[in-house]
Amino acid sequence: MPSFIFVHCVSFTKCQCLPVRCLSQNKRHTQTTTKYVELIVVADNREISRTEAQRHVVSIPLLSIPQFYRALNIRVALVGLEVWSDVDKCPITQDPFTTLHEFLDWRKVKLLPQKPHDNAQLISGVYFQGTTIGMAPIMSMCTADQSGGIVMDHSDNPLGAAVTLAHELGHNFGMNHDTPERGCGCRGFYCIACHVFLERRVVLLEAQGDYAERLLTKSILK
């Protein structure tokens, strides 16, 4: 079974102050505080042109993403689905770096003023160069110019893109890849925090729990 390696942008500069509403609605003022992320999913023209693609795209974010982050007390709410049925609204190429920059620029200038949200992810039917199937800036959640990512729809099973999207969201939150050296305990499982996908089953790595909790207490994620 081929390995799919995630390549990510990690050189973005950290941004300005975050919108107050982002990740700020709390159930309780304790360590069990629930964070909320308003997500918009965008499907490019190539993706929506695929057979039964509309049903496919809609099912991706609804499938498993909320469940992936529920264990970390994060609620991911799908607040919008944008479908580019006629033409792409930003340049989409096989170069994932260029595509990421173009998508983030379009989100900042066009999408964010029209539809307030915390994060946007592009699901593309274009096959990226090399083994890259997803890319996202690190520690960028809720920023105006970097809170988003790109996902290549690399599988006939919607779960494949859903896992990749959840993985990119993790990078936006500031989570890094997990390795056995960092305490990864997902032996024999399909770990969404790993940089290589090898197995079929999916778990959200327990080792990320404490790490994510520390991240969520930082000012950039409040």
Average pLDDT rounded to a whole number, residues 166-195: 63
Q: Write down the pLDDT at residue 146.
A: 95
- Tens of pLDDT, residues 109-166: 999 999 999 999 999 999 999 888 899 998 899 999 999 999 998 887 777 888 889 8
Outline where DSSP puts E strands in 66-210: 74-83, 119-124, 134-135, 148-152, 190-191, 196-197, 202-203
Beta bridge partners of 152: 124
Which tokens go with 27?
């159930």
pLDDT band of residue 66 (cuts 50, 70, 90) is confident
Q: Write down the pLDDT at residue 71.
A: 77
Q: Write down the pLDDT at residue 119.
A: 97
Residues 6+ apart with CB under 8 A from 145: 15, 104, 105, 108
Beta bridge partners of 222: none
Average pLDDT rounded to a whole number, residues 160-181: 80
Average pLDDT rounded to a whole number, residues 70-87: 89
Does the annotation place 195 within a ligand binding site?
Answer: no
- Give the span between the Cα atoms of 48 and 42, in whole angstroms: 10
Q: Does the pLDDT of residue 207 top 60, yes or no?
A: no
Collapse the DSSP code of 40 into the 3-class scheme (helix H, G, I; strand E, B; otherwise coil) and give the result: strand
Q: Does the pLDDT of residue 42 top 90, yes or no?
A: yes
Q: Which residue has the tokens 């159930």?
A: 27
pLDDT band of residue 53 (cuts 50, 70, 90) is low
Does the annotation place 117 within a ligand binding site?
Answer: no
**Reduced to 3 DSSP states, what percent helix, strand and coil does the chain have, rounded to the nearest 5?**
30, 20, 50
Average pLDDT rounded to a whole number, residues 5-12: 36
Which domains, and CATH codes, for the chain? 4-177 (3.40.390.10)
Q: Does the pLDDT of residue 80 top 50, yes or no?
A: yes
Residues noted as catalytic: 168
pLDDT band of residue 201 (cuts 50, 70, 90) is very low
Average pLDDT rounded to a whole number, residues 104-111: 98
Q: Write down the pLDDT at residue 89.
A: 98
DSSP code for 101: H
Does the annotation place 177 within a ligand binding site?
Answer: yes
> Using an 8 Å Cβ cutoff, are 48 and 9 in contact?
no
Q: Which residue has the tokens 């609620």?
A: 75
What are the b/e assignments for 44-66, b being 16+ CB within 10 Å?
A: bbbbbeeeebeebbbebbebbbb
Q: What is the mean pLDDT of the chain?
A: 72
Q: Give the β-pairing of 119-124 and 4-5.
A: unpaired
